Amino acid sequence: MNVAHPLLEVYPRLYQHYGPQGWWPGEGPLDVVIGAILTQAAAWRNVELALRNLKAANCWSLEAIRQLPPDDLAAIIRPSGYFNAKARKLQAFANHVHHHHGGDLAAFLNQDAGALREELLSIHGIGPETADDIVLYAAGQPSFVIDAYTRRILGRLGLAPANPKAGYAEYQSLFHRSLPPDAGLFNEYHALLDRHAKERCGKTPRCAGCCLREVCSTGQRSDALTLQD
Ligand code: SF4
Instruction: Report the mean per-residue pLDDT for the chain.
Output: 94
The alpha-carbon radius of gyration of the chain (Å, integer) is 19
Residue to substitute in 7, 150, 153 for testing ligand 1 pocket (most ligand atoms within 8 angstroms of CB): 153
Q: Mean pLDDT, to the nearest integer, of 159-187?
A: 95
Contact 157, 212 (CB under 8 A): yes
Kindly report the pTM of this predicted structure: 0.94
Residue 178 and residue 117: Cα distance in Å, rounded? Answer: 20
Residue 218 and residue 212: Cα distance in Å, rounded? Answer: 10
The Å distance, Cα 212 to ligand 1 centre, comes to 6
Residues 63-75: tens digit of each pLDDT:
999 999 999 999 9
All domains of the chain, ordered by start, with CATH?
Answer: 1-229 (1.10.340.30)
Q: Mean pLDDT, to the nearest integer, of 218-226?
A: 76
Is residue 200 over pLDDT 80?
A: yes
Binding pocket residue ranges, ligand 1, CB within 6 Å: 153, 156, 200-201, 205-207, 210, 212-213, 216, 218-219
Task: Give 96-134 as a DSSP string.
Answer: HHHHHHTT-HHHHHSS-HHHHHHHHHTSTT--HHHHHHI
| Cis upstream peptide for 44 (omega within 30°) | no
